[in-house]
Structure 1
Amino acid sequence: MIGRAGLIALAAIATFVSGAWGAMALWYQPPGSAFARTLGSVLWALAVIALAVVAISRRSWLPLGVYAAMYALLLLWWASIAPSNARTWADDVARQLGGTVSGSAVTLHNVRNFDWRSDDDYDALWETRHYDLDRLASADAVLSYWGSQAIAHAMISFGFDDGQRVVFSVEIRRQRGQRYSPFGGFFKQFETALVAADERDIIRVRTNVRGEDDYLYPLRMDRSAMRTLFLAYVQAANRLVRQPEFYNTLTSNCTTLVYRMARQIDPGLPWDARLLLTGYLPGYLHDAGAVDRSVPLDELRQRGRITGRARNAARDDFSVAIRTNEP
């Protein structure tokens, strides 16, 4: 059995963790100026510390009960914060992807095809595109790194035998003027956006404009599995139109959503920490047999690096150019 000392230690840990979470929630989520959010966060932290001091000095459980009531009110406020599709969005996520399916014919609405000169200078173009799933020919995983070997943004590019390509990417739906924060992604700061885009837009902006390092890995999937995954993206997009969701850095990000869809194809697909540390995703795909296993992983990475080819490619020949040296 846990003695008094053990209970005190557990209470202290729970108070510290929940108190820190509450302080961060009050900093990231409430509307208003940075000063007001900071003030609310600091006041919460001071109240938690004061109650802890009283509990220790008087050897009383009463302050813990007061804190539990405070925390319950905080959770009620937190539960009341709902995602929305009605905000003033940044231009690149301003429109929501939607799709209709009739047999093998798929129509995607609001496919992004921006011409980027910089992050703030671009020609915005949204298109309606039509695809025949009977002509689906390939699926590639695209990983984009921007600083850490452990973190990358993952996308899936589908190719058709008539030359068409479309990339699906799960991203944060930023409001205008808002910047990405991995910590904010834990605190309901962003909604989820599912973007479908031309490769000349969504890959090129990362390599040529943002200076990211991109890798392309052809996936070993039969046509039936590719078709199922493509339709899962369409269904997910339509669901987000009807029911917006918050983006979560850990549980609902660019990789975990793809994993959940892939599990519909292969229920035995194992969970792995590399699904969270997305920079190591190629190793997971290699171990799972989802990419070419006839070559070592390091060689596969070397072959898959498309950054240089992307930066030298003409915009009109982009998709062909980034695959020029593929085996």
Structure 2
Amino acid sequence: MKTVIFWLALLVVTLWGALALRVQFAQIWPLITLAAAVALVVWARLGPGYGWWGLGLLALGLLGWFFSLTPRQDRDWAADVEHIVRGRIEGDLVHLENIRAFRWRDADHAAEAWTSRTIDLRQITGADMITSVWDNPDIAHLLVSFRFAEGDPLTFSVEIRREKGEKFSVLGGFFRQFELALIAADERDIVQWRAVPRGEEVRLYPLQLRPDQLAEVFLQYVALGNQLNEAPRWYNTALSNCTTVVWQLSKVLSRDLPLSPSLLLSGRLPEYLDGFGVLAGEGSLSDKRAAALISERARAWPESGSFSAWIRQDGKLGKQEVTEGL
């Protein structure tokens, strides 16, 4: 039995190490070094009988190297994640910097602009959860957009912070390839980009929140942006992504929000929130999903007037004002 456990443990350590090294290094030599180390462990097991010692040293070496990797602020970032939103709070006023206002020509190219804005927390009238699906309907990117009595909505999006030329990788997200970014943007940038040039299926769900909840969730986003500007953090595909961060911030709604498979299958988060009465609107969840779909409307936008007003033009979305919430 011990022999079976040893070989299974060696297999797991070897596969984990190979994946981690493959993500972190473009060269082949780290994998060759790992193969040589594994061969020594096999020899120690079959020869002198020190296989467990060898396996332990191999595992400690890999883990020590992996956890020595530290997130950074000074990489050559892709243009759309070059800046992370930061805010300065003065009473009910929040002065925000690094708000993205790109105007996308296609999925990869845009007229770039970063702006500033002052938000009066007393002017927040509502919030919407936006989901964007590009392939598997069980996996969605999540955004939260705040509406105001005056001025355009402002959207927050937790994303990977890619370097120039990098592409998203689920595997890389498990092995410290990307830092975490919080982007604040206007909807004509971040929602239009996903619905039109990227061709994703985008839904907008109005939320039922009290004024104090709206302000607290907004301030939680500002705090997260400030934290990431001060101390970078790794993105993790399972543990620190757009869904888990939204869940952590949403605990202001109810301190005992339970863990759920929806935190991994983010496309199911509307069902999770609907169970707590957070999604506004009438009818079943299927009715709310149908009413929330804005992709086609976004693609039909005539590129004049307010994009945010256009995607809410049927009178069913975004009209809910502050309610009693939870």
Normalising by structure 1, report the TM-score. Answer: 0.91
Q: Please tell me whether the aligned partners of residues 192 and 247 of structure 1 are also in contact (alpha carbons under 8 angstroms).
A: yes
Partner Cα distance (1:109, 1:13) in 2: 51
SS in 2 for 1:203: helix
Match of 1:40 in 2: 30
Q: Which runs of 5+ in 2 are unaligned?
A: 317-326
Residue 118 (structure 2) aligned to one of 125, 130, 140: 130
Write the distance in 1 (CA, Å) between the matches of 2:40 and 2:62.
17
CA distance in 2: counterparts of 1:90 and 1:64, whole angstroms: 44
**Greater helix content:** 1
Helix, strand or coil at the partner of 1:119: coil
1:149-298 superposed matches below 5 A: 149-292=137-280, 294-298=282-286
Q: CA deviation at 1:234?
A: 0.3
My pick for the range that moved more, 222-231 or 282-291, is: 282-291
Question: Corresponding residue for 2:24?
Answer: 29
Over 6 Å off, 4+ runs: none
- Give the drift of 1:44: 1.7
Amino acid at match of 1:321: W
What one-letter code is carried by the residue in structure 1 that aligns with 2:15?
A
In 1, Cα distance between the equivalents of 2:291 and 2:227?
36
| 3-state SS, counterpart of residue 98 of structure 2 | strand
1:18, distance to aligned residue in structure 2 (A)? 2.2
- Equivalent AA in structure 1 for residue 34 of structure 2: W
1:220, distance to aligned residue in structure 2 (A): 1.1
Name the aligned partner's letter for residue 31 of structure 2: S
Between 87-96 and 65-74, report the one with greater CA deviation: 65-74
Shift of 1:269: 1.1
2: distance between equivalents of 1:25 and 1:227?
40
Report the Cα offset of residue 314 of structure 1: 3.2
Q: Distance in 2 between matches of 1:186 and 1:119?
A: 25
- In 1, distance between residues paired with 2:122 and 2:6? 59
Alignment gaps of 5+ in structure 1: none
**Aligned-residue identity in percent:** 37
Task: Look up the SS of the partner of 1:120 in the other structure.
Answer: coil
Please list the CA deviations of residues 213-254 of structure 1 after superposition, one character each: whole Å capped at 9, or x if unmatched: 100100111111010000000001000011000111110000
